[in-house]
Each structure stands twice: as structure tokens, then as C-alpha cells.
A = this chain, B = another copy of it.
Amino acid sequence: MPGNTIGQAFTLTSWGESHGTAIGGVLDGVPPGISLDIEKIQKALDRRKPGGPHGLTSPRQESDQIHILSGLYEGKTLGTPLSFLIYNTDQRSGDYDAFKNVYRPGHADYSYTMKYGHVDHRGSGRASARETAIRVAAGEIAKQILQSFFPTLQVTAAVIQLGSQKLNAPWLGHSYPENPLFCPEERTIQPWTSYLNDIRFQGRSVGALIEVHVKNMPAGLGEPVYDKLDADLAKALMSINAVKGVEIGDGFSCVNAENGYDELSAETPTKHLTNKAGGIVGGISTGQDIICRVALKPTSSTLQSRKALTKDEIPVDVSITGRHDPCVGIRAVPIVEGMVSLVIMDHFLRWQGQCGSKFRK
């Protein structure tokens, strides 16, 4: 199976280059008879959209209007493939002519050429983060379907570190007022805004640390051995552009820790006293909150000059004058929520297929 499909029982197949006609996705395995709220899908896409009100992220203007082409009838899913597309309206691909024969540092120009030979240099083609709009739309659909089965389930992500700037207190996964930085701590929004503006005006960029919590998670989802729930989450999150690390529960801090377990108790609703494991043991959910963190590297395209090579191996310096996003990580918050929702939805159907019979007594 080629690499543009994710999931086993609930699958997303994605297509589209950054500067082609459109990008799109096909969801298959959709349970029938479920009402979808299209406005909410559009709203999820708007959250990811570059060029927020404060101009803190990429100034590219995209309308990102979703068009659902199949699988819905009279507002409800049919059980047939749900196909959707988003037109690429802001395709100023002429912007990229300068880079046509250049391998840019931090971009996939070199590795794509090694693989395919024939590549689309415009805005990185398929390697562009533009593809992540598909993940957000599909993820929101997955979340809506999940919530039709588990109405209290919540999937919420936030930026918990922006470059050198941390939160004042740990975020516990609760929802928070919308803000362009996806900062869950109200008093921190202003300092982070100033910090990021400084980074931006200096033509620099920084990374971000995102945390995601799934609350009211059903127990028993995940497959032992290879398709562990945490393994599939790691893959789904690592597949997001610019992600360089993924951890679950206590994550890397477990190396220099002791007692790497959560004691049990009948006194708590989830039967556990702590949640070092991040809600997954042996690859299967315990019913506690799922907690993951994801590290995103700084934007590669900055105003600074960088050493590059042409395809004929002539050294050139590249820098950009126009579009510049000081922290790509921020926009990844709805993408992270989307990928987590897709993975849980897939494992819910897998569980239901194998273990969820309503026939057996």
C-alpha cells in the first residue's frame, strides 16, 4: 500500500500538491447514519489557516473552503466514501521560480529528487504543509463520529512551550479560550505574542512543543504488539510536517525516574492513582486520559541567508523576502488534534469489529 493512506478500518487517503488545482481527501469505512456538522469542519479548517488576525503566522491567504463531494445524503453519512476537496486559490507559484533548480536547506527538495527524479518545485508540492488542511478536516469528521458514540470524549491540544518560553503552570488538558497562539494560559498570551513578534521582525524562527489530551477516552482500544495505540499515535504525529519527536505520558523523563507504573485503586473512576503511562498500557487504552507531547522544529524558510545547492551542485545562497512564518509549530495544534482523532476512530472500529459484538452473549 503506497504512503498516502492512513488507518486500517477508518482510512484517510489524501492527494494534492501545494500549487496544483486542489487538495483533497477520501475517508473510507465511515459508519452510516451519522449527522455531520459541516460548519464545525469549516471552523476547524479556519483554526489551521495561515495568516491569523495578528499576522503571527504565515501571511499566505487561503480560503480553505471545504467541498464535500460524496458519502453524505440529507446531512447524514451513507457509509460510502466521504470525499472532500479544497481548491488552491492562492497559487502564486511564480514566487517559487527562483528555487526551481535549487535544493533548499530544511526542505524536501533534495530527498524528493533522490526518490522521484521528477518533482514539482512549486511550494514544495506534496511536501508542503498545505496537505495538513486535509488532516484537519478529516480529523474533525473523525471526532464528530467518535462523539456520536462517546458524547463526552474530548480531544484538545495546546502549545505548552514556544521557543524558550514555557507556561507558568502545567496545563491539564482542559479547553481554553481561542487565541492565535493556541496558548492555554491566559496571562501568557501577551508575553508570547511579544516574544514571537520579536522573533519575526528579526527574521528568525523558533520551534514549539504541543501537548494533546484525550478526555473520557474509552478503555480497551489499541492492538497488542505492532499496532499499539501509542505506536499508531507516534506514527500519526511524527508524520506531521516539522515534527521531530513524540512522547507519551511521562515520555523522555522516564529514563531517569523510578517506579514507572501507575498504582491501581477502586476509589478513582479510572481505577488508577496516577497517569504516568499517558493512558495506554501494553498498547491498549486504560480509560484514563491519553496524553502526548510533540516537538516541532523551527521554520526552515527565514529571512536569513542559507547555503544551498543547485541541482547541478553549484553552491548558492538562499533567503526569502516575502512569506515567513516565525513558528510553524503553532498552526500544528488543530493538526495534532486531527491526527489523534483519526487514530482513535480507527482503533474504535477495529475494536468493534473484533471484540464488540452485539450478537454474542
Contact = CB atoms under 8 A, between A and B. Distances in A.
A29 B13 contact: no
Interface string A141-181: 00000001110000000000101100000000000000000
A107 interface: yes
A320 interface: no
Interface in A184-218: 204-209
A356 B349 CA distance: 10
Contacts of A150: 359
Residue among A8, A80, A230, A283 having the largest count of chain B Cβ atoms under 10 Å: A80
B78 A297 contact: no
B11 A108 contact: no
A70 interface: yes
Interface residues of A, number: 159
Given A69-B85, A204-B258, A239-B226, A76 B111 contact: no
A247 to B, nearest CB: 3
Given A115-B222, A118-B76, A131-B225, A251 B106 contact: no
Contact of A295 (B80, B232, B252, B354): B252
Interface in A44-103: 67, 69-71, 73, 76-83, 85, 103
A107 to B, nearest CB: 7
A164 B305 CA distance: 40
Nearest to A250: B244
A103 B245 contact: no
B4 A28 contact: yes
A43 to B, nearest CB: 22
Contact of A79 (B116, B230, B302, B304): B116
A226 to B, nearest CB: 4
A33 B244 contact: no
Contacts of A125: 73, 78, 80
Contacts of A349: 353-354
A9 interface: yes
Contacts of A358: 356-358
A239 B228 contact: yes
A271 B33 contact: no
A216 B77 CA distance: 29
Interface in A246-269: 246-252, 254-266
Given A111-B281, A209-B255, 7 more contacts: A15-B71, A33-B117, A78-B120, A148-B360, A228-B239, A231-B234, A352-B352
A295 B235 contact: no
Given A259-B298, A358-B358, A2 B16 contact: no
A31 interface: yes
A322 interface: no
A42 B30 CA distance: 31
A300 interface: yes
Interface in A299-322: 299-300, 302, 304, 306-309, 313-315
Contacts of A223: 2-4
Contact of A33 (B2, B116, B260): B116
Contact of A161 (B255, B266, B271, B360): B255
